[in-house]
Structure 1
């Protein structure tokens, strides 16, 4: 069964303006950040590898925004296959972005909480392998799903009109997003505790550590605000479809999905800004703590 999806005029206008802004700013910021990390840094580190992969995923997401805008303002006339390809690009890179943000949190945790114990684990080559695994996994999933997908006729895109429960929405929320949320929360709490314990009376060091603490909190808040509502909406929609909810109820849920999707898309713009400016302050704090730890260790062993 299909439910015709209502698009409220004020929501359509707001979404149109938002997608236009996200596309322009997201493209500029992410391309600039990608240029900085690829061309202006003296050498590649594990942080550089993660950041380049994150920017690439975000750029691919941003490139789908003009098509989202088109689908919002006019009947879809680009065909089923184009719509299917764009949806796969959007969701593949969204979950790749979530994975890399989780990997960055893990890398920070190892660097600040265990600066010497796991030093050999943190290399650009290993970071590349960490990124290659989910890219490959998501590519295989898309190839398999594409081979099983049947053609169809569409009048709209990026909107679920069929009321059959979508297992992908449930799996992506519970098996991909939820573990990432738990891990990022764990790493962030551990890092914050370690940084706060490392703050000294030295005013210069204290400023660096406090900046790093504020940035960790900001990253965590941005991740939760951007991704938690939309995955909650996916689960609610799955439950509504599974219980044969009325089209009236499904339409209201779809409005919730549209609004929460706008929030999740904001992450593509915020990533480039937040992680680019976070790098300097955070790694300054890491360097200071590592030097202090090495001095302490040398005193104990001498």
Structure 2
């Protein structure tokens, strides 16, 4: 059963939604991230662990943003830019989405170590170790992305960015469990522990700084959940419905849901820049106080 042969494109409402959201995200994403990259690379005299993670996060977000015009084109027209181009764009998009997730996780762990284990943090944290961590993450994700693209047949040549194969996509569960659920658990644990530690600090002089730090942590966690939870729920639902050979109507509804939640995931490229720029500039004021 092929539920998608009769309609290769999206309906007009989804096309319009993608158009009016992806274009602003593209321009704001490039502008904000390039400004942040300029600040971190040209204005900071000393690189810290946070700087290394932030620069890698910004690079991954820029690379993900660069795929948005092609995604809009694929949603609006029949894809005629070639199978190889589609494959390369898919690899680029998914590598950088999960790179963003893993770097946000690394930032949370780094923050947790600095706050909860201040005496050991110099041994566990350094710019070199942060660089090695990022290099390992890039290498693993590139290998997984390239390997997966050689075997995946879920995207037709004329519908790039749109899954048309109704066979269960098994690796999507791996992405859901290891690429989102595990990072979410780690980020949540680290955030809660840091919040508890900050609340125990009783210095009245640092009350304002503490309040800002708490807002940064909470906002980072909320943004992460809002951007990435819905799309991974969609991946899970699609795997289940494909496995159970659900009706075409059900699959098409989930397909619509995934398209909409993908826009939330794309918004993370802009929100990362805002949230973590303030985290880098203000959060660490309270880390080593007292």
1:102 to 105, 130, 135: 105
Equivalent residue, structure 1, for 2:185: 182
Quote the Cα distance in structure 2 between the aligned partners of 1:230 and 1:81: 25
Quote the Cα distance in structure 1 between the aligned partners of 2:151 and 2:14: 34
Which aligned pairs between 1:168-247 and structure 2 lie closer than 5 A? 168-202=171-205, 205-247=206-248
Quote the Cα distance in structure 1 between the aligned partners of 2:215 and 2:155: 49
Quote the Cα distance in structure 2 between the aligned partners of 1:151 and 1:267: 25
State TM-score, norm by structure 1: 0.91
Q: Is it true that 1:121 corresponds to 2:111 in the alignment?
A: no
Indicate the structure (1 or 2) with the bigger Cα radius of gyration: 1
Deviations 1:27-72, CA, capped at 9 Å, x for gaps: 0001111111111100111111000100010000000000011011
Which aligned segments of 4 or more residues in structure 1 are displaced greater than 6 angstroms? none
CA positional deviation for 1:143:
3.3
3-state DSSP class of the match of 1:155?
helix
CA positional deviation for 1:151:
11
1:156 to 156, 159, 182: 159
Change (3 A) 1:50 1:114: same
State TM-score, norm by structure 2: 0.95
Contact residue 115 and residue 287 of structure 2 kept, 8 A: yes
Equivalent residue, structure 2, for 1:17: 20
What is the aligned residue count? 287
Equivalent residue, structure 1, for 2:2: 2
Contact residue 33 and residue 276 of structure 1 kept, 8 A: yes
* Contiguous gaps of at least 5 residues in structure 2: none
3-state DSSP class of the match of 2:159?
coil
Deviates more, 1:16-25 or 1:108-117: 108-117
Quote the Cα distance in structure 1 between the aligned partners of 2:154 and 2:14: 30
CA RMSD of aligned residues (A): 1.6
Equivalent residue, structure 1, for 2:87: 84
Quote the Cα distance in structure 2 between the aligned partners of 1:157 and 1:241: 19
Quote the Cα distance in structure 2 between the aligned partners of 1:151 and 1:34: 35
Quote the Cα distance in structure 1 between the aligned partners of 2:25 and 2:56: 19
CA positional deviation for 1:144:
2.6
Contact residue 109 and residue 191 of structure 1 kept, 8 A: yes
